[in-house]
Amino acid sequence: MGNRYFEVLERASSFLEEQGIEGQSILFVFLERKNWSKTDWLIHLKDEMPEEEEQQLETDLALLADHYPAQYLLGYADFYEQRFSVNEHTLIPRPETEELVELCLKENPDEPLTVVDIGTGTGAIAISLKANRPSWQILAVDISVEALRVAEGNAKRLHAAVDFLQGDLLKPLEGKAIDLLISNPPYISNDEWRLMDESVRTFEPKTALFAEQDGLAIYQRLAQEAPKILAPKGKIYLEIGFQQGKAVKELFQQAFPGHVVRVLKDLSGNERMVAVTPDEKAG
């Protein structure tokens, strides 16, 4: 008699824990490959595991033990109720970024607006906004040709009419008037780099993660360039590192003295977003 599901998974999970890796990651990959819910798992956990499934699990386990991210292994990540293709040219979309999308949607109605997503990666932000605000004209910019290829594929598969532009930050947008600018830019500093999870440091694209000037370099450039293209009543929504709220707020308050700059916390209680919006009292 062969091995039962729960025995194989328990061994695999313990093996990962011994390597200092989250043991649940192998169960996550296994359930995704089987397209099983937690209920399916409970029903079948004492069933015998077919040999070819055990071989697939061994392959997955070896990669996870080498700190390879589960989402790259599967080739996709879920974000804001949609599934996005991911690979090593794109950052894996994070739950905190869903909160940035949520904030932007909550504060802006479905009326014709020109919206730009800077550093789009998989296209997760731009495509999620388009799915929920069909009347917005959405442009998505990335410096990486490979990332844009992934983003364009995601937009096509998810039937999202987003225009993709290759270039450095706001350069491809010269001469345009933007109503909303949203971005999850690289913001990890030299000091924080060594604290990052090994899977992030080894496999995710460094240009999408890492920034000079204590992680503030991209915000400095955005604060410098955005006033040239943002409409007078335009708004900016940014994801930030949890220690950057004060510095990013100061940068954008100087660049937009007529706007209100707010630092907002994520569900974990960390400062995670900056919103730059017109001062309604002044208007």
- Binding residue numbers for S-adenosyl-L-methionine: 119-123, 142, 184
H or E element, residue 238: strand 230-239
**Rounded CA separation 196/274 (Å):** 22
List, as residue ranges, the binding site.
Answer: 119-123, 142, 184-187
Do residues 261 and 275 make contact, with C-beta atoms less than 8 angstroms apart? yes
**Rounded CA separation 40/34 (Å):** 10
Phi, psi of 82 (to 5 degrees): -130, 160
Decide: helix, strand or coil at residue 101: helix
H or E element, residue 110: none
Q: Treating both helix axes as pointing N-terminal to C-terminal, what angle do 95-107 and 124-132 enclose, rounded to 10 degrees?
A: 40
Q: Per this entry, what is the length of the chain?
A: 283
List, as residue ranges, the binding site for substrate.
Answer: 184-187
